[in-house]
Amino acid sequence: MRLGNRGSDGRDSRIALRILFGVSGLVALLVALIVLAGAIALPGLSEWVAVTFDTGVGLKSAAVIAAIISVTVMIVFALAAGEGLIGEIQFMIPGFFLFFVFFWLMIAWVF
């Protein structure tokens, strides 16, 4: 008893494999371009970091930087969880404050 056409399944499999390799190749190329751009921009970026953080970062500046980092990390976590921004809000609010305090004190201490 045959349930489907085997020839069509094999062709679909080959097409899916070609699409997978094509998308994987494009992603690899994009990552390579980002790494190359980072390597080219590194001397200018390191000079900016040396000038900007030469005197150190105070608690006020560290708080602003920590807030931006914390919001970004929490949005990435929420989107990766698949529930969106609303589904896990009761866990995200305390997590945000923990991230904020951690990043705030670490940035102020390290820089």
31-61: burial string, b at 16+ Cβ within 10 Å, e else: eeeeeeeeeeeeeeeeeeeeeeeeeebeeee
pLDDT digits (tens, 9 = 90+) for 65-96: 888 888 888 888 777 777 655 667 777 788 88
pTM, two decimal places:
0.44
The pair of structure tokens assigned to 39 is: 């390597």
Write out pLDDT tens, residues 5-53.
556 778 888 999 999 999 999 999 999 999 999 888 888 888 877 777 6
